[in-house]
Structure 1
Amino acid sequence: MFAVIKTGGKQYSVTAEDTITVMALAGNPGDAITFDNVLMIAGEGEPTFGAPFVAGATVAAEIVEQKRGPKVLSFKKRRRQNSKRKRGHRQDLTLVKITGVKTA
């Protein structure tokens, strides 16, 4: 059985025992969390689609690690103006292990 969940403005297709990287979630490693925004559940029989979410469906997960993504550099230079700007950014991410998919 698999589900499509929405978190951090993105959609993820997950099954039990999957490990995914999502935008930063509050919590410490080992904490249990649930995703209530389930867009679709499929597996046995016909798939169930939500409008927009499937009523009563949840996905249980556990936080594995809080980490940061790779550094992204933004460099702007205006030639012959003696003007330049360099900025860096690292996105906060959370590594999550899916423990189960529950239907209504």
Structure 2
Amino acid sequence: MAANYAIIETGGKQYRVQPGKSISVEKIEGETGSTVELDRVLLVSEDDKLSVGTPTVEGAKVVAEVTEQGRAKKIIILKYKSKTRYSVKTGHRQWLTKLAIKEIVTGGARPAAARKKASSGA
């Protein structure tokens, strides 16, 4: 039996999520302990059935809980031009939100194979 998982998009990046796991994503507004619904679901795998969105799976969403709001490790940016005595050193810390995935709601999404057969038969 295959594990249930989904591919979601948030903050311009894609993440593979499973219930019970946690991920760090670009900052999402919400207090620690609040619930967030992510509706940009690109793919859902459930009991060996695969639903692929065009571009998203209709009715599917991922319910997650905000466990932490924080910042990533500092990255150092160096700019340097030789022979001109020019150098600049700056740092950046990105705001992140840590999410605990509670459940994947499919909303009656049909598998990609069934959708393809239904459209080709018409």
TM range (shorter): over 0.9
Residue 82 (str. 1) matches residue 85 (str. 2): yes
Cα displacement string for residues 7-64 of structure 1 (whole angstroms, at most 9, x for unaligned residues): 0111111110110000000011001000001111112142011100000011000000
Indicate the percent of aligned positions where both proteins have the same amino acid: 37
| Gapped regions of structure 1 (runs ≥ 5) | none
TM-score (norm 1): 0.94
Cα RMSD, aligned residues only: 1.0
Equivalent residues, number? 104
Residue segments in structure 2 that go unaligned for 5+ positions in a row = 108-122
Provide the rounded CA distance (Å) in 2 between the counterparts of 1:88 and 1:5: 29
- For residues 57-90 of structure 1, the C-alpha deviation after alignment (integer angstroms, 9 at most, x for no partner) is 1100000000111111111222332222111111
Q: TM-score, normalised by structure 2?
A: 0.81
Q: Which has the higher strand share?
A: 1
Structure 2: distance between partners of 1:10 and 1:103: 21
| Distance across 2 between alignment mates of 1:77 and 1:45 | 53
